[in-house]
Chains A and B, each alone.
Chain A
C-alpha cells in the first residue's frame, strides 16, 4: 500500500505564516504584492492549485483590461463607475466596494505597464486605446506570467499543486480562521497552513450547470474548468455570510468556441442580427418595459437584458443570431485585431474557426448564450459579504478591516467578494491589494497565531484522504467504472450539472425555474450529498477532482437556496423565476444574504438593505 492509500501514513507538512493567500490568480497575486509592501517583516505564503504563471481565469492571457478609469485624462471618475455598475446589475451593488475598486484600479494598471505589459497607446494623444468606455486594449498573451513574476518576488513562499480543501477554524474560537489545509497532488502530502490572517482569492465556478458541449468539448466552458467554486465553498463552511449567490452569469459568446464579443461590438463596431439579417433589440423593447419597467431604457442596456432580448429572438424561431464580422474586417489591420482578440485569450475560438472553415472577413459567425456561471468579478456579483473602506462605506457595511468577511481574520478578493461586479483582471488585482494591505493591519493588531489542535488536523486528514482509501480497497466488481458502492468524481459532476441545468434554470430549461423546481432541485442535491461519502479516487489527480466536486456542490446549494429566497426575476437573461416574472423593487431592491451554521448544518437566509453612496 502506497502512502497515499493510507491517510495515517501521509506525511504532514506544517507551514506557519503571518498571511496565507489561497489562490494565486489575479486577486491572490495582488494580495501578495501589497502585503509585502506594507509587511516587510511578515511571512507571506501563497497556496496555489496549479502553477502561478498559468493559473486562474487569466491563465491563457487576455486581449483587454476591462476596468480602467483613466482619471489622469479625466475620462472617468469612480462615481461614474459606480453608476455604470449599479445600472448593469439592475440597481443593486455594494457601491462602497465598487467605488473603492474604481479609485484604486488606475494605479494597478500603471504598475502593469511599468512591468512590461504592452498596452495599446495612441501615438498622437499618448492615451491608452479604448475598446469601450471602461476597457483598454492590450497585447495580453503574457499578462499572467508578467503578474506572476512580481508575486514570486513578493511572497515568502509559493506552494504549488496544493488543492486547498478546507479552512481551519481556531480551536478555541471556531468563529475565527486559523489557516487552511490541503493536498499536494504531486507527492500526496497533507499541508497544514497556520496563519494569523487568511485571504481567500480562489475562483468562482464553471461546471455548476451542464455546459452546452457535454462530451469531450465540456472543457470548452467560458470560465475555465479549473474554476471550481472554492471561493465560496471554503467560506460557506466557515460560516461566512454570503451575498447575491443567486446572481449567476450567462454570457453572449461566439457559438461553440465561446470567443468573447467585447472587441467586436465595442471596438470593431460589428452588429448582430437574426437569421434574416434584421436587428431585433428595438422591436422587443415594449415587452421588456412591461417586464422590468424603467430598467429597459437604462443606458447602456444592462448585460442581462441584452441576453434576454437575444433569448426571446431565438425562442421565437428567428435564430441563429449572427455577428457580422464580415462587415467590419475591412483591412488587414482589422483582421489581425480580430484574430489576435482570440489568439490572446480564447485560442479555442481560433481553432473553431480554422476547423469549421469559417473565414470571418467574408462570412458572419453565430452567437449563442452560454450556460450559467457563478462568480463575482464579471457582470455579476456573487460572493462573501465584506467590510468596506472606512472613509466611504455606510456604517452598516463596515466592521474594521477592508475586505474582511464576517469571519475574523478571513479576507477575500476577486471572485470571493460579493456585491461588487465588473472588477475583471485589473479590479481583482486591485482588490487583492486592498485585502493584502488590510490583512497586514489585522496581523499587526492580532500578532498571536490562532490555536490549532492535533485532533483537528487528524480529523481533517481522515476526511480529505477518504476517497483514496475507498479507491485502495478491494473492489467487488471485476473491472470498469460501474460500482454500486462507489461514486466517481466525474459521475458526481455530471449528476450535479444535470440537477442544476434542469431544476436551477440552466440551458435546457431556457434559464427558467420556479419554487417547485428549486425545491425539487434541493432535494436531489441533498441526496447527492448523502452519496458523497462514497466518492472514490484512484490517484491524486482524482483526489483533486473529488474535492473540486465537493466545492462545486457547496456552491450549487448556495445558488439554489438564494434563487429560492429571492421571489422576483431581477436579472432576466441570467435566470427567470417563472412564478415571479417581474422586477419587484418594492420588496427586493436589497441584497439576499445567507449564513450556513457549521455546528448545526442549517442555512439562514435574509435580506440586507441597499445603500446608494453616489
Chain B
C-alpha cells in the first residue's frame, strides 16, 4: 500500500504517527487504531513498520505493479536488524545486518568538547579539523587569478 495495520495487533500507541516522514499514518477516530490515510504518498520506507512495538504494520507492494502474496518484514533491535522475505512462490529468505557499533545515546555533544578560541571562527577549519581529516593540514589552493 504500502503500509496496512492489523486490527488485532494495533493498540493505537501513536509511534507510527510520530515517526512517519510523509505524515500519512494517522489514528482512526472511531477505532482508535492507526491506518495509512494516503497510500499514494507512501515511500515504503518502513519507518513506521520498524517503530511499531506490536509488529502490527506490514507492507503490501504498490498496486501499480506488485502482485499479491509476498511479505518483507524486519525486526529491529538496538544493534541489528533481521529481515524475513516471503517470495511469491513461497520461498523464504532471511538476512541479518548490524545497524550501530556504539550504544544509543553515547554520542559526544559538540558543546562537551573544548571550546575553540573566538578568533578561530574566521578560519576555514571545521570542528576537530585538521585532526579528524587524518592528514596534516586542511588542503587549500593558490587564490585563482581570474574571476574579477
| A residues in contact (CB < 8 Å) with B | 33-34, 36-38, 40, 49-51, 53-56, 59-60, 71-72, 77-79, 99, 103-104, 106-107, 110-111, 115-118, 139, 141-142, 146, 149-150, 153-154, 161, 185, 213-221, 224-226, 256, 336, 339-340, 343-344, 347-348, 350-357, 359, 389-397, 430, 433-434, 437, 440-441, 444, 490, 541, 544, 609, 611, 613-614
Contact = CB atoms under 8 A, between A and B. Distances in A.
29 contacts: A33-B127, A51-B18, A51-B19, A106-B132, A107-B132, A116-B106, A116-B107, A117-B100, A146-B107, A150-B110, A153-B110, A214-B64, A216-B62, A217-B62, A219-B40, A226-B22, A256-B66, A348-B44, A351-B70, A355-B69, A355-B88, A356-B66, A357-B88, A359-B87, A430-B126, A437-B127, A441-B122, A541-B24, A613-B144
A142 B126 CA distance: 25
A118 B135 CA distance: 22
A216 B63 contact: yes
Contacts of B107: 115-116, 146, 149-150, 153
Given A59-B47, A392-B143, A354 B72 contact: yes
| From A33, A139, A355, A397, residue with most partner B Cβ within 10 Å | A355
A343 B52 CA distance: 18
A50 B87 CA distance: 32
Contact of B98 (A78, A139, A149, A336): A139
A611 B147 contact: yes
Contacts of B86: 354
A347 B65 contact: no
Contacts of B130: 107
Contacts of A544: 23
Contacts of A79: 141
A434 B126 contact: yes
Interface in B5-44: 18-24, 26, 37-44
A340 B43 contact: no
Q: Which 5 A-B pairs have the closest CB atoms?
A: A394-B147, A217-B64, A116-B102, A217-B62, A72-B134
A11 B124 CA distance: 43
Interface string B79-121: 0010101111101010101111111111101110101100011
B110 A115 contact: no
Interface of B: 1-2, 18-24, 26, 37-47, 51, 59, 61-72, 74, 76, 81, 83, 85-89, 91, 93, 95, 97-107, 109-111, 113, 115-116, 120-122, 124, 126-130, 132-135, 138-141, 143-144, 146-148
A219 B44 contact: yes
A34 B138 contact: no
B116 to A, nearest CB: 6
Given A38-B127, A216-B62, A541-B37, A357 B44 contact: no
A430 B138 CA distance: 14
B76 to A, nearest CB: 7
B2 A347 contact: no
Contact of B148 (A389, A396, A433): A396
B98 A118 contact: yes
Nearest to B122: A441
A331 B101 CA distance: 26
A149 B2 contact: no
Contacts of B144: 392, 394, 611, 613
B23 A355 contact: no
Contacts of B124: 389-391
Nearest to B78: A142
| From B59, B62, B67, B97, residue with most partner A Cβ within 10 Å | B62
B45 A54 contact: yes
B64 A347 contact: no
Contact of B45 (A104, A347, A614): A347
A22 to B, nearest CB: 16
B46 A60 contact: yes
B141 A55 contact: no
A340 B95 contact: yes
B100 A53 contact: no
Contact of A351 (B59, B76, B89, B93): B59
Contacts of B68: 355
A40 B116 CA distance: 10
A352 B66 contact: yes
Given A71-B133, A391-B143, A347 B37 contact: no
Nearest to A103: B139
A71 B23 contact: no
B109 A36 contact: yes
A33 B110 contact: yes
Contacts of B128: 107, 111
Contacts of B1: 216
B80 to A, nearest CB: 9
B109 A354 contact: no
B72 A351 contact: yes
B23 A215 contact: no
Given A354-B71, A441-B121, 16 more contacts: A49-B23, A54-B51, A56-B21, A72-B135, A106-B135, A141-B97, A153-B110, A348-B43, A348-B44, A354-B87, A391-B124, A394-B146, A397-B147, A440-B121, A611-B146, A614-B141
Given A34-B127, A38-B116, A111-B128, A355 B61 contact: yes
A193 to B, nearest CB: 20
A220 B64 CA distance: 10
Contact of B67 (A37, A115, A356, A395): A356
Contacts of B126: 34, 104, 107, 430, 433-434, 437
A363 to B, nearest CB: 12
A54 B95 CA distance: 22
A601 B84 CA distance: 54
Nearest to A345: B45
Contacts of A344: 97
B109 A153 contact: yes
A281 B109 CA distance: 50
